[in-house]
Chains A and B, each alone.
Chain A
Amino acid sequence: MSTGVSLMLTLAFLTLIKSVPIVYAALGGVISERAGVVNIGLEGMMTAGAFSAVVFTNLTGSPIVGLIAGIFFGAFLGFILGFAATFFKVDQIVAGVGINLVALGGAAYGLVLIFNQPGASPQVNQLAPEQLLPQITVGETALIVLGLLCAFGLNWFIYRTPWGLRVQACGENPRAVTDAGLDPLRLRLYSVIASGALAGLGGAFLSICEVNLYSDGMTAGRGFIALAAVIFGRWTPWGATGAAVFFGFFEALQYVLQGRISWLPSDAMQALPYLAALFAIAGLVGRVRAPAADGVPY
């Protein structure tokens, strides 16, 4: 195989792998925002997922248990945000930022408390680390497939089921939902919990599937990129998935180009996915419309 072809192949697989955590978090963003809650806390929920996955894998030796713990703790932070944003009518942005800070600080503190080492955890068992192809493991493949199933499932849920239609109504006009005899606060709470679970899963992928440890700041703003993907994808599951893969591509590109363009500092290269997000969203200003009641406490 020529180096050109192998490089393209690497880029393709790396794009898939780098997209996975963003896809999960973006799907989480879609369900939460369609219900009317802006989930700025996605980043923190990913962090919680990544960290707790490592802790529980370390504890039990089973990365499957770690994965479930990641989902659970993401969902738990979702519950906190959901509860604050609905029944306590806390400003959603403030609550979300709070969750990000607590998760980041909590994980850093947990590293010292549990593993007695700051900065990064010891290595734990990786989720199905066997190579399926030279570029990709069995575990990564499984979570890519699961991610697609989640996108498919969320699309089906939002547009086909009665509950999905109610969630949509909730994000557009919660009073209409109240008038229909339903409880919009409860719908919002459940949606944000689901959102946290998806973000937690995305975080767990980062720590126990792509690598085998947690290090401080490893989510590196992917939760925020996911928020951009939600907007870029116009609040639809497949749109957000596509946007997440688009941003994932730039992250992969950045890895592939690393060290190949000598005149560009590596820090500038690392900024590539964020710049892509910035330009993508800037180009959309005024041309997309969020759910009408998105971010408005009820």
Chain B
Amino acid sequence: MELDLDESSLAIGRIERALSRIEKALADRAKRPVAAPAADQSALKAEVAAVIGELDLLIAEAKRG
């Protein structure tokens, strides 16, 4: 699939909005400390780490041009 500039910008916008949603959800969660089941948390952590890893990779590739 090829994206032009506008679609890239839209993808970046989607990422920014999703990050804001995560930030807000975590902030709300911090206000009401409820312990989630350990399995859920570790799965979530793994998913976060995977996404961060992919982002890092993408950024490194973009820097190399």
Partners in one complex: no
Binding site for B on A (CB under 8 A): none
